[in-house]
């Protein structure tokens, strides 16, 4: 299922997974091109593995759930501290009001 199309930039080859843009007769085979191709392949393999491996997906979900639980515990502590401070302030205000009444 490969298609080819000539444009002002050269030949474009489209396959189900990637496309090549440029004049294929003038493709450089130097170390920079090889390094670029290797980098693209490494990134694709990593993405493919992370996206398709069930174990990786399970681990990602587990880490996400652990972080969510940790954040909930943190917010619960903050809420408890805020409630305690509010209660102390109410008691102090009540004592001050009693002192004013006397």
* Residue 67 maps to a domain: yes
Asked if the model's pLDDT at residue 76 lies above 90, the reply is yes
Cα separation, 43 vs 82, whole angstroms: 47
Residue 46 within a domain: no
Q: Does 4 map to a domain?
A: no
Domain membership of residue 60 as a residue range: 55-102
Q: Which of 54 and 2 is assigned the larger pLDDT?
A: 54
Q: Tell whether 70 is covered by a domain.
A: yes
Residue-averaged pLDDT of the chain? 82
For 14-30, b/e burial (b = at least 16 CB within 10 A) is eeeeeeeeeeeeeeeee
Domain-embedded: residue 5: no
> What was the pLDDT predicted at 33?
84
pLDDT tens for each residue of 5-30: 565 555 555 555 544 555 555 555 77
Domain count along the chain: 1
Average pLDDT of the residues in 71-80: 98
pLDDT of residue 71: 98
Contacts of 4 (CB under 8 A, 6+ apart): 11, 12, 13, 14
Residue 11 lies in a domain: no
């Amino acid at each position: 299922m490969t298609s080819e199309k000539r444009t002002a930039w050269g030949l474009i080859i489209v396959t189900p997974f990637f496309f090549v843009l440029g004049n294929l007769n003038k493709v450089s085979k130097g170390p920079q091109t090889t390094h670029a191709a290797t980098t693209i392949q490494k990134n694709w393999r990593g993405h493919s593995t992370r996206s398709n491996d069930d174990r990786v997906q399970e681990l990602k979900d587990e880490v996400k759930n652990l972080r969510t639980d940790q954040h909930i515990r943190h917010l619960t502590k903050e809420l408890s501290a805020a409630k305690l401070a509010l209660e102390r302030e109410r008691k102090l205000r009540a004592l001050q009001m009693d002192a004013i009444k006397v």
